[in-house]
Amino acid sequence: MEIGFVGLGKMGMNMVTRLQRDAHRVVVYDRAPDLIKEAEGRGCTGASSLAAMVPKLAAPRVVWIMVPSGGPTEETIQAVAALLQAGDVIVDGGNTKFHDDLRRAAELKKKGIHYVDVGTSGGIWGLKLGYCLMVGGEEAVANRLEPIFNTLAPEGGWGYMGGHGAGHYVKMVHNGIEYSMMQGYAEGFELMSKSEYRLDLAQIAELWMHGSVVRSWLLELTAGGYVQDSGEGRWTILDAIEKDVPVPTLTAALFTRFRSRQRESFAEKMLAAMRRAFGGHSVRQ
Protein backbone atom coordinates (compact mmCIF):
# COMPACT_ATOMS: atom_id res chain seq x y z
CA MET A 1 0.00 0.00 0.00
CA GLU A 2 1.09 3.61 -0.51
CA ILE A 3 1.07 6.16 2.31
CA GLY A 4 2.31 9.66 3.03
CA PHE A 5 3.82 10.12 6.47
CA VAL A 6 4.39 13.44 8.24
CA GLY A 7 6.58 13.48 11.35
CA LEU A 8 9.80 11.51 11.80
CA GLY A 9 10.34 11.84 15.54
CA LYS A 10 10.90 9.16 18.18
CA MET A 11 8.01 7.01 16.98
CA GLY A 12 7.52 8.25 13.44
CA MET A 13 10.91 7.14 12.13
CA ASN A 14 10.44 3.64 13.49
CA MET A 15 6.93 3.46 12.08
CA VAL A 16 7.97 4.37 8.54
CA THR A 17 10.84 1.89 8.80
CA ARG A 18 8.43 -0.87 9.78
CA LEU A 19 6.13 0.06 6.89
CA GLN A 20 8.92 0.20 4.34
CA ARG A 21 10.28 -3.18 5.44
CA ASP A 22 6.89 -4.71 4.69
CA ALA A 23 6.98 -3.42 1.09
CA HIS A 24 4.67 -0.42 1.51
CA ARG A 25 5.61 2.67 -0.49
CA VAL A 26 6.17 5.43 2.07
CA VAL A 27 6.55 9.09 1.13
CA VAL A 28 7.84 11.08 4.09
CA TYR A 29 8.10 14.70 5.18
CA ASP A 30 9.54 16.33 8.30
CA ARG A 31 10.64 19.88 9.03
CA ALA A 32 14.14 18.52 9.70
CA PRO A 33 15.92 17.72 6.40
CA ASP A 34 18.35 15.36 8.13
CA LEU A 35 15.46 13.16 9.26
CA ILE A 36 14.13 13.03 5.70
CA LYS A 37 17.59 11.92 4.57
CA GLU A 38 17.67 9.24 7.25
CA ALA A 39 14.27 7.92 6.16
CA GLU A 40 15.42 7.89 2.54
CA GLY A 41 18.38 5.82 3.65
CA ARG A 42 15.89 3.33 5.06
CA GLY A 43 14.11 3.03 1.72
CA CYS A 44 11.42 5.70 1.97
CA THR A 45 10.75 8.41 -0.63
CA GLY A 46 11.51 11.86 0.73
CA ALA A 47 9.68 15.11 0.06
CA SER A 48 11.01 18.59 0.76
CA SER A 49 7.59 19.99 1.75
CA LEU A 50 3.97 18.98 2.20
CA ALA A 51 3.24 20.49 -1.19
CA ALA A 52 5.94 18.28 -2.70
CA MET A 53 4.74 15.18 -0.86
CA VAL A 54 1.10 15.11 -1.96
CA PRO A 55 1.73 14.88 -5.75
CA LYS A 56 3.94 11.85 -5.12
CA LEU A 57 0.90 9.96 -3.83
CA ALA A 58 -1.72 8.38 -6.08
CA ALA A 59 -5.39 9.14 -5.36
CA PRO A 60 -7.16 8.27 -3.17
CA ARG A 61 -4.32 9.33 -0.90
CA VAL A 62 -3.63 8.36 2.70
CA VAL A 63 -1.56 10.74 4.84
CA TRP A 64 -0.58 9.70 8.37
CA ILE A 65 0.31 12.56 10.72
CA MET A 66 2.60 11.82 13.67
CA VAL A 67 3.58 15.16 15.19
CA PRO A 68 3.27 16.62 18.72
CA SER A 69 -0.30 17.08 19.94
CA GLY A 70 -2.05 20.41 20.08
CA GLY A 71 -0.93 23.26 17.83
CA PRO A 72 1.52 21.28 15.67
CA THR A 73 -1.09 18.62 14.87
CA GLU A 74 -3.79 21.21 14.20
CA GLU A 75 -1.57 23.22 11.87
CA THR A 76 -0.35 20.14 10.02
CA ILE A 77 -3.84 18.76 9.47
CA GLN A 78 -5.02 22.10 8.09
CA ALA A 79 -2.00 22.35 5.79
CA VAL A 80 -2.40 18.79 4.50
CA ALA A 81 -6.16 19.14 4.05
CA ALA A 82 -5.62 22.19 1.83
CA LEU A 83 -3.61 19.98 -0.54
CA LEU A 84 -5.89 16.92 -0.61
CA GLN A 85 -9.00 16.06 -2.62
CA ALA A 86 -12.34 14.43 -1.88
CA GLY A 87 -11.89 10.75 -1.10
CA ASP A 88 -8.45 11.17 0.46
CA VAL A 89 -7.79 10.13 4.08
CA ILE A 90 -6.00 11.90 6.94
CA VAL A 91 -4.86 9.72 9.84
CA ASP A 92 -3.93 11.34 13.15
CA GLY A 93 -1.75 8.85 15.01
CA GLY A 94 -0.68 11.22 17.77
CA ASN A 95 -2.16 12.04 21.17
CA THR A 96 -5.20 14.17 20.42
CA LYS A 97 -8.19 15.05 22.61
CA PHE A 98 -11.16 13.10 21.30
CA HIS A 99 -13.27 16.27 21.29
CA ASP A 100 -10.87 17.69 18.69
CA ASP A 101 -11.33 14.56 16.58
CA LEU A 102 -15.07 15.18 16.40
CA ARG A 103 -14.55 18.76 15.27
CA ARG A 104 -11.88 17.89 12.71
CA ALA A 105 -13.88 15.04 11.23
CA ALA A 106 -16.85 17.36 10.72
CA GLU A 107 -14.68 20.06 9.14
CA LEU A 108 -12.94 17.63 6.79
CA LYS A 109 -16.20 15.97 5.82
CA LYS A 110 -17.28 19.25 4.19
CA LYS A 111 -14.34 18.83 1.82
CA GLY A 112 -15.03 15.14 1.26
CA ILE A 113 -11.86 14.17 3.15
CA HIS A 114 -12.04 11.21 5.53
CA TYR A 115 -10.54 11.40 9.01
CA VAL A 116 -9.28 8.50 11.11
CA ASP A 117 -7.98 8.82 14.66
CA VAL A 118 -5.50 6.20 15.87
CA GLY A 119 -4.38 5.90 19.46
CA THR A 120 -0.85 4.54 19.16
CA SER A 121 0.91 2.69 21.98
CA GLY A 122 4.30 1.05 21.86
CA GLY A 123 6.74 3.90 22.21
CA ILE A 124 10.28 3.55 20.98
CA TRP A 125 10.05 -0.26 21.15
CA GLY A 126 7.43 -0.40 18.40
CA LEU A 127 9.90 -1.02 15.58
CA LYS A 128 10.80 -4.39 17.06
CA LEU A 129 7.61 -5.36 18.89
CA GLY A 130 4.92 -3.57 16.90
CA TYR A 131 2.37 -0.97 18.00
CA CYS A 132 -1.00 -1.35 19.67
CA LEU A 133 -3.41 0.66 17.51
CA MET A 134 -6.83 1.86 18.70
CA VAL A 135 -8.73 3.04 15.63
CA GLY A 136 -11.65 5.47 15.41
CA GLY A 137 -13.61 6.86 12.46
CA GLU A 138 -15.77 5.46 9.68
CA GLU A 139 -15.46 1.68 9.79
CA ALA A 140 -15.35 1.31 6.01
CA VAL A 141 -12.45 3.77 5.81
CA ALA A 142 -10.63 2.07 8.69
CA ASN A 143 -10.98 -1.26 6.88
CA ARG A 144 -9.32 0.25 3.80
CA LEU A 145 -6.27 0.93 5.96
CA GLU A 146 -6.05 -2.64 7.24
CA PRO A 147 -2.79 -3.41 5.35
CA ILE A 148 -1.13 -0.47 7.12
CA PHE A 149 -2.46 -1.48 10.53
CA ASN A 150 -1.45 -5.10 10.00
CA THR A 151 2.13 -4.02 9.34
CA LEU A 152 2.42 -1.62 12.25
CA ALA A 153 0.76 -3.86 14.83
CA PRO A 154 1.67 -7.34 16.06
CA GLU A 155 -0.91 -10.07 15.52
CA GLY A 156 -4.10 -9.06 17.31
CA GLY A 157 -2.59 -5.66 18.07
CA TRP A 158 -5.06 -3.34 16.35
CA GLY A 159 -8.78 -2.92 16.62
CA TYR A 160 -11.66 -0.72 15.46
CA MET A 161 -13.03 1.11 18.50
CA GLY A 162 -15.95 3.00 16.97
CA GLY A 163 -16.79 6.36 15.43
CA HIS A 164 -14.68 9.51 15.26
CA GLY A 165 -12.73 10.09 18.45
CA ALA A 166 -13.14 6.55 19.78
CA GLY A 167 -9.54 5.60 19.05
CA HIS A 168 -8.08 8.55 20.92
CA TYR A 169 -10.63 8.20 23.71
CA VAL A 170 -9.57 4.60 24.39
CA LYS A 171 -5.89 5.64 24.21
CA MET A 172 -6.59 8.42 26.72
CA VAL A 173 -8.00 5.92 29.22
CA HIS A 174 -5.15 3.51 28.41
CA ASN A 175 -2.66 6.19 29.45
CA GLY A 176 -4.53 6.89 32.67
CA ILE A 177 -4.31 3.20 33.57
CA GLU A 178 -0.63 3.21 32.59
CA TYR A 179 0.03 6.04 35.04
CA SER A 180 -1.61 4.07 37.85
CA MET A 181 0.26 0.84 37.12
CA MET A 182 3.59 2.64 37.01
CA GLN A 183 2.84 4.48 40.24
CA GLY A 184 1.97 1.23 41.99
CA TYR A 185 5.25 -0.37 40.96
CA ALA A 186 7.24 2.72 41.92
CA GLU A 187 5.73 2.94 45.40
CA GLY A 188 6.17 -0.77 46.05
CA PHE A 189 9.82 -0.72 45.07
CA GLU A 190 10.44 2.40 47.12
CA LEU A 191 9.04 0.63 50.18
CA MET A 192 11.32 -2.36 49.57
CA SER A 193 14.30 -0.05 49.06
CA LYS A 194 13.78 1.29 52.60
CA SER A 195 13.39 -2.12 54.25
CA GLU A 196 15.90 -3.62 56.67
CA TYR A 197 16.50 -6.62 54.42
CA ARG A 198 18.89 -5.16 51.81
CA LEU A 199 16.71 -6.53 49.05
CA ASP A 200 18.00 -6.92 45.50
CA LEU A 201 15.31 -4.97 43.66
CA ALA A 202 16.49 -6.01 40.20
CA GLN A 203 16.29 -9.64 41.25
CA ILE A 204 12.77 -9.11 42.60
CA ALA A 205 11.64 -7.43 39.38
CA GLU A 206 13.01 -10.36 37.38
CA LEU A 207 11.43 -12.86 39.78
CA TRP A 208 8.03 -11.23 39.47
CA MET A 209 8.27 -11.54 35.70
CA HIS A 210 7.97 -15.32 36.06
CA GLY A 211 4.54 -16.44 37.17
CA SER A 212 3.57 -13.51 39.39
CA VAL A 213 0.13 -11.94 38.97
CA VAL A 214 1.83 -8.51 38.89
CA ARG A 215 4.20 -9.42 36.05
CA SER A 216 4.41 -6.72 33.39
CA TRP A 217 6.66 -5.27 30.72
CA LEU A 218 6.83 -2.13 32.84
CA LEU A 219 8.81 -4.05 35.46
CA GLU A 220 11.69 -4.31 33.02
CA LEU A 221 12.14 -0.58 32.74
CA THR A 222 14.46 1.28 35.13
CA ALA A 223 16.69 4.43 35.35
CA GLY A 224 16.29 7.73 37.20
CA GLY A 225 15.04 11.28 36.80
CA TYR A 226 12.14 13.60 36.23
CA VAL A 227 9.00 13.02 34.16
CA GLN A 228 6.98 15.39 32.01
CA ASP A 229 3.20 14.90 32.04
CA SER A 230 1.99 14.31 28.46
CA GLY A 231 -1.50 15.69 29.11
CA GLU A 232 -3.55 12.57 28.53
CA GLY A 233 -3.80 11.81 32.24
CA ARG A 234 -5.42 15.20 32.74
CA TRP A 235 -7.86 14.54 29.90
CA THR A 236 -8.85 11.23 31.46
CA ILE A 237 -9.59 12.85 34.82
CA LEU A 238 -11.56 15.70 33.23
CA ASP A 239 -13.64 13.24 31.21
CA ALA A 240 -14.36 11.24 34.37
CA ILE A 241 -15.53 14.43 36.10
CA GLU A 242 -17.85 15.23 33.19
CA LYS A 243 -19.33 11.72 33.33
CA ASP A 244 -19.53 11.57 37.16
CA VAL A 245 -17.29 8.49 37.22
CA PRO A 246 -15.02 8.18 40.29
CA VAL A 247 -11.40 7.41 39.34
CA PRO A 248 -9.43 7.96 42.56
CA THR A 249 -6.50 5.75 41.56
CA LEU A 250 -6.00 7.50 38.22
CA THR A 251 -6.29 10.90 39.89
CA ALA A 252 -3.75 10.05 42.58
CA ALA A 253 -1.31 8.76 39.96
CA LEU A 254 -1.56 11.99 37.99
CA PHE A 255 -1.00 14.15 41.07
CA THR A 256 2.03 12.06 41.99
CA ARG A 257 3.43 12.67 38.53
CA PHE A 258 3.14 16.40 39.23
CA ARG A 259 5.07 15.82 42.47
CA SER A 260 7.94 14.21 40.54
CA ARG A 261 8.78 17.66 39.21
CA GLN A 262 9.21 19.12 42.67
CA ARG A 263 11.35 16.72 44.67
CA GLU A 264 13.27 13.51 44.28
CA SER A 265 12.38 10.14 45.78
CA PHE A 266 13.12 6.57 44.83
CA ALA A 267 9.54 6.06 43.60
CA GLU A 268 9.55 9.18 41.48
CA LYS A 269 12.90 8.36 39.92
CA MET A 270 11.69 4.85 39.11
CA LEU A 271 8.50 6.27 37.59
CA ALA A 272 10.58 8.56 35.41
CA ALA A 273 12.79 5.63 34.48
CA MET A 274 9.94 3.50 33.18
CA ARG A 275 8.50 6.41 31.24
CA ARG A 276 11.82 7.17 29.60
CA ALA A 277 12.55 3.54 28.82
CA PHE A 278 9.35 2.79 26.92
CA GLY A 279 8.57 6.14 25.39
CA GLY A 280 11.75 8.18 25.26
CA HIS A 281 10.04 10.89 27.33
CA SER A 282 12.09 13.74 28.69
CA VAL A 283 13.81 13.08 32.00
CA ARG A 284 15.80 15.57 34.09
CA GLN A 285 18.75 13.97 35.87
> Any idea which residues carry the catalytic annotation?
171, 178
Cα–Cα distance measured from residue 172 to residue 158, given in angstroms and rounded to the nearest whole number: 16
∠ CA 208-210-211, nearest 5°, is 95
DSSP helix/strand/coil, 209: coil
- Smallest CA-to-CA distance from 258 within 220, 230, 219 is with 230
CB 37 within 8 A of CB 63: no
CB 48 within 8 A of CB 40: no
The residues with which 220 forms a beta bridge, in sequence order, are none
Provide the residue type at 248 as one letter.
P
Within 56-138, residue ranges assigned H as helices are 71-81, 98-109, 126-129
